[in-house]
Structure 1
């Protein structure tokens, strides 16, 4: 199967997404989980240790400054579903404005991030990585704050992992997911809106509605 932006965006709009078995497998297949992981945007959990790290660290957060670096960071592990076709495909989606990244930097070094696809007011999280303690959690905190501030209705995590559950992600039925998806893709959001995201403000905005 050859991926195209039109094909994959249609797939996301009906609740399915592409994967490969591993980086060396040339085949791509579609996934439609019976139960879906989602991040309720008002329920992101910031632990005391994460809050302290956000306040005290010298790390900085950006969006779309190094999409390929985030993508490659996510693939830089022993077991990954990101093969060459999927990598090239998401770079194409990014160039067309349909895929975005949230980055965490230590000076000029990319140390963590998350990337995903956008359709309407839905953000479909694809993968994340961390090269420093809590860097992926910090990326998620900044991302959730951005999604909340810019009008998003759905943060899809595809599957629920213990790591995501510890941060507030939930598992819902396919039917419930499709209902949320329909609402989200029929609304508008502006991921790239200019925002002032100071760490203390991020913490306050997330915890106010938690």
Structure 2
């Protein structure tokens, strides 16, 4: 792994350097400029608050191609019944705060520190970070956020306060934007997203999509 200089925004080239188990660098800072630069290279931060900042570019990469989206019959019924309504970029702060605070099975605490959260809020204010909100009876019950880089949406985190909320929001987002997106970066494997059609691809293939003009 490479130690980053806090005074210089640079990273190892993820096409040439694999690092250790997907970690290619550590240190640096969580400035808006560094985070945006990292995502353009296919690198993302993931670490426990209070510990060293770790920067990842795993191989393989867990992604979803919009045309491979899987929607179960039960989820299609929920969507058709209009159980949820959806918005985009209407409550970014509410979404990211909920992602930070939601209790997750088998997880204590959160990797989403206050500093990292504020950097993403600033990226949203710059028009670079996007949120998808899921509502039920005028209450924010689910959603997710991420960065849009070219034709790749880099998903960061999602939450659900009621059953199927985040899944419904994800399906709605993919079906609404499938003509504009090459793929959605899911970063690391989850059974939840695999059930929707996400799969592993080589890092080299992911970087090819990310860098397409």
* TM-score grouping bracket, smaller chain normalisation: 0.7 to 0.9
The structural deviation recorded for 1:28 is 2.5
More helix by share: 1
SS of residue paired to 1:118: strand
Q: Is 1:175 equivalent to 2:204 in the alignment?
A: yes
> Could you say which structure has the larger radius of gyration?
2
Corresponding residue of 2:21: none
SS in 1 for 2:66: coil
Tell me the equivalent position of 1:148: 178
Are 1:39 and 1:169, in contact at CA under 8 Å, matched by a contact in 2?
yes
Counterpart Cα distance in 2 of 1:44 and 1:34: 22
CA distance in 2, matches of 1:57, 1:91: 30
Matched, 1:61 2:86: yes
Counterpart in 2 of 1:192? Answer: none
Q: How much has 1:101 moved relative to structure 2? A: 0.6
Instruction: Answer 1 or 2: higher relative contact order, Cα 8 Å, separation at least 6.
Output: 1
Is 1:7 aligned to 2:34, yes or no?
Answer: yes
- Do residues 117 (structure 1) and 147 (structure 2) align? yes
Determine the structure 2 residue equivalent to 1:131.
161
The match for 2:15 is none
Q: Which residue of 2 aligns with 1:16?
A: 43
In the alignment of these two chains, the number of paired residues is: 181
- 54-63 or 103-112, which deviates more: 54-63
Q: Summarize deviations over 1:99-146 as a string: whole Å, max 9, x none.
A: 011111012210000110011111100011111110011010111023
Q: Is the 8 A contact 1:63 1:102 kept in 2?
A: yes
Match of 2:128 among 95, 98, 115: 98
Per-residue deviation, 1:165 = 0.6
- TM-score, normalising length: structure 1: 0.81
Cα RMSD between the aligned structures?
A: 1.4
Tell me the TM-score normalised to structure 2 length: 0.80
Give the SS at the match of 1:145.
helix
In the alignment, the residues of structure 2 paired with residue 127 and residue 54 of structure 1 have an alpha-carbon distance, to the nearest angstrom, of 22
